[in-house]
Structure 1
């Protein structure tokens, strides 16, 4: 086990192996077997590029050799910040094959996040595109590398300038180290309720089990065509069943650079897409766009909606408008994934966020004293199971709060369970904002705003938003009579904060409501701002 990771207790590990959850397979072996089984069948298509299963396996072998020759080896951490490109798969599977550990960053992350990840996990390399969506990642890489001495290699997909070009690293395959299925395969990012995202260690065993269960429940097979419109480094489009689940099933992945219906709908028609996944704000856009487009979407069998709660009113529109099944997905990168089943009654599909995908998932709904609540009562959701982690990477202090003594993960979600075992999500217990599926720490944004010389005090809260579910509102007490809101946003951008964390609304106030012990009462503040929004919009 990688230093800084919390292992499963041995009795649980033995049980999960005995029950067939963990079958001893690694990602490198999985791709090798799929390459032999599916040969020249297309694995991934991206714009005008296509790659077969056999060719993907071969290129992964070649790139793994290139990484080895750079001195990247087992347990070395590599930041991977690539958009939806074929090179994402070649890179991560090459790292899997040599036992190096990808750290999945998002294309929207900027200096603040990338510098932290690189320093915290002692990254040896950083893989980026040259440019994407108008942003030059080489400029970011230069700035990060100047202060992170261990970050030896910047590897670029495209014009590398002074850095290494990924296309020059494909070499003759060599003998690679033996990788164990209980090795850490990669590090994912948590939503985080305090500060910057925690890192989530995932083993080959536990993550491949989650793929297998997702493929089974979502009924993927070699005829399935999965359209990826969300950033594939996210856990949801990565594994629920996502792109990795599609490879596990032998299906075809179609990569879209944008989630816009103007790009996604033509791909559904052209590639005869059978399943795709969106977040609620995007689902609203797509539902409204169908009537103004003339594309043939009849191949679509399943539209997954997840990342945040989907309103029942919108959920009821999916089948009449798209003519396909809706599948609600509620999960987290730490593990637990819930699905509505494809043959569930409509009332279950539109009114719940599904039930756990594994019979070995353990669920508790508890009150503030950790007393278990009866079905129908709202409380905090706790979970334990064969693909839910036992601790964050190098975070002993935080782990003591985030996990119970007997290994249940405190999700921070408020939920209730019906008598059939389906969950209805009611909100968040943690100080966290779920902005269109992106889980954002209020504290992180507050810390940046406190650095502004004109800000005396600040509280960041969520406010309701028709499309995002929750938007970010920064409430500030200023030292000056007036501050330009654009100046505040520019200040946050200059500090390297990811664009999706920039507050959607900024409110200047004279004081904050307080709790009896003198803390800012965010619940009361949220009510004040929400009522103000209601008046403005009425």
Structure 2
């Protein structure tokens, strides 16, 4: 590894990391957008200092609790870095959240300030903030295209303790309240370093952030930019084919976000098989959801680029990451390897457990924190998997995704990967549903590609039998849906919604 990058990775705080990179690459671009803006590392630091001063004059101090619910824009990155300069406690909230989730986050953190975009994509965030019933309402700031600025002379010294909790991220939740996840500057830098070192990005690369910057993937990606000194295109609204012009104009070399993003790019490529979708694209990367091995081969074959997939969660933003140095089998069939600072332990029941600097400090709810770690200090992920001889992680499902049919454990992921290979399956989620006779029955919920013949349960079971799946694992129920329910951050399938919809015994 380049000694300079190694030194940057040891920065105590996110602000220190930006400070070092701005000194090294003052005139090098770091943020690009669809409005034609081009912000250099030096300009980014200077803007963050001015905004930090403006926030300080509004009363924001080290330790102040500052929530922000903003789209992926240059201003959002500047605001977050300004808060990092002040040492405030940030509460990023993804834009798709509404009154219930936002109100819960603001109450739980006792936020003193709340930045919103005003009216954005047809929704009035300012009005939502004002109607929330809070004991002590925060000061609401509209910061979509303008930020407060002030005289940097008023600023206190930047924070130096990278292990203090200064970030509270929120899980997407299921049917219960979301969980506030406690992070430090060092945990975010450790997570971003894993991503950066595995992908081996180069200064001439052009990345892209097509997901909400308020997602835990936001600082992951920002740390990578600061470590390796290359720019990224910010996409306030991602859509295909709508966003393709921006990818092409800026010459993006790395794109992605999650498994669903890979499928979206593939669907566009298939409209013109002989013409490369994004001529400069050399790498797709992402995480957040399992990747069927066949999807890897489809990406490489049809998009003409490499695919490096990783494994992370809000509680540990980057656990493992695939690398272009891995073998084809490792890239297709594993989630990559953990970095040197991440320790993975496989429990007796197959659960993946973690210990390392990138792991969160727990939750805003002490009871949840106590239950999240085992007696050796390892974080319980709830995921099942195993490590190969080479140290690569293979995920086999979720603890709650293990379907118990007549006393036999069945992996939903195993069935999903086999069904994905069927030509009439665009995407699939396999769930267990309550069954009076069997305990649980296996249900496959399928999203079909355009123009595919209607799939039948017989066709599904025939395909799985031919693939060698044991008879007791065959689905007993098939549901066809127009679209699988997904979250808005990384487009992860929300299986709990499918269980609620189809779970009638």
Partner of 1:228: 209
Cα-Cα RMSD: 3.0
Name the CA distance, whole Å, in 1 between partners of 2:481 and 2:98: 34
| Partner residue of 2:396 out of 426, 448, 462 | 426
8 Å CA contact 2:192–2:219 kept in 1: the answer is no
**SS at structure 1 position matched to 2:344:** strand
In the alignment, structure 1 residue 103 sits paired with structure 2 residue 95: no
- Between 119-128 and 284-293, report the one with greater CA deviation: 284-293
Name the CA distance, whole Å, in 2 between partners of 1:397 and 1:93: 31
8 Å CA contact 2:287–2:310 kept in 1: the answer is yes
Partner of 2:236: 257
Structure 1 residue 287: deviation in Å? 0.6
Residues 1:305 and 1:469: Cα distance change in structure 2 (over 3 Å): farther
8 Å CA contact 1:127–1:156 kept in 2: the answer is yes
Residues 1:108 and 1:53: Cα distance change in structure 2 (over 3 Å): same
Structure 1 residue 338: deviation in Å? 0.9
| Partner residue of 2:200 out of 202, 209, 219 | 219
Partner of 2:383: 413
Residues 1:91 and 1:205: Cα distance change in structure 2 (over 3 Å): same
- Between 100-109 and 206-215, report the one with greater CA deviation: 206-215
- Any stretches of 5+ residues in structure 2 without a counterpart? 1-5, 403-418, 447-474, 483-505
Name the CA distance, whole Å, in 2 between partners of 1:275 and 1:64: 31
Q: Report Cα offsets for 1:355-399 as digits up to 9, x if no partner.
A: 21x22322122234xxxxxxxxxx111111121124223x22122
Partner of 2:163: 182
In the alignment, structure 1 residue 389 sits paired with structure 2 residue 360: yes
In the alignment, structure 1 residue 116 sits paired with structure 2 residue 104: yes
Name the CA distance, whole Å, in 2 between partners of 1:105 and 1:82: 8
Structure 1 residue 314: deviation in Å? 1.5
Partner of 2:478: 533
Partner of 2:459: none
| Partner residue of 2:287 out of 306, 311, 318 | 306
In the alignment, structure 1 residue 154 sits paired with structure 2 residue 140: yes
Structure 1 residue 214: deviation in Å? 2.3
Partner of 2:323: 341
Structure 1 residue 29: deviation in Å? 1.9
8 Å CA contact 2:276–2:304 kept in 1: the answer is no
| Partner residue of 2:29 out of 42, 49, 52 | 42
Structure 1 residue 155: deviation in Å? 1.0
Residues 1:154 and 1:471: Cα distance change in structure 2 (over 3 Å): farther
8 Å CA contact 1:384–1:407 kept in 2: the answer is yes
TM-score w.r.t. the length of structure 2 is 0.76
In the alignment, structure 1 residue 141 sits paired with structure 2 residue 133: no
8 Å CA contact 2:51–2:147 kept in 1: the answer is no
Structure 1 residue 235: deviation in Å? 2.2
8 Å CA contact 1:21–1:209 kept in 2: the answer is no
Name the CA distance, whole Å, in 2 between partners of 1:177 and 1:430: 47
Partner of 2:226: 247
Partner of 1:286: 265
**SS at structure 2 position matched to 1:416:** strand
Structure 1 residue 198: deviation in Å? 1.5
Residues 1:117 and 1:399: Cα distance change in structure 2 (over 3 Å): same
Structure 1 residue 177: deviation in Å? 3.8
**SS at structure 1 position matched to 2:85:** helix
Residues 1:238 and 1:321: Cα distance change in structure 2 (over 3 Å): farther
**SS at structure 1 position matched to 2:326:** coil
8 Å CA contact 1:42–1:50 kept in 2: the answer is yes
Name the CA distance, whole Å, in 2 between partners of 1:279 and 1:108: 17
Partner of 2:14: 27
Residues 1:469 and 1:353: Cα distance change in structure 2 (over 3 Å): farther
Q: Report Cα offsets for 1:266-306 as digits up to 9, x if no partner.
A: 22221111212232222112112114255662321210142
8 Å CA contact 1:227–1:254 kept in 2: the answer is yes
8 Å CA contact 2:94–2:212 kept in 1: the answer is yes
8 Å CA contact 1:225–1:272 kept in 2: the answer is yes
| Structural mapping, 1:371-386, within 5 Å | 379-386=350-357
Partner of 1:437: none
Structure 1 residue 28: deviation in Å? 1.5
TM-score w.r.t. the length of structure 1 is 0.72
8 Å CA contact 1:97–1:176 kept in 2: the answer is no
Partner of 1:204: 185
- Between 207-216 and 79-88, report the one with greater CA deviation: 207-216
Name the CA distance, whole Å, in 2 between partners of 1:390 and 1:261: 37
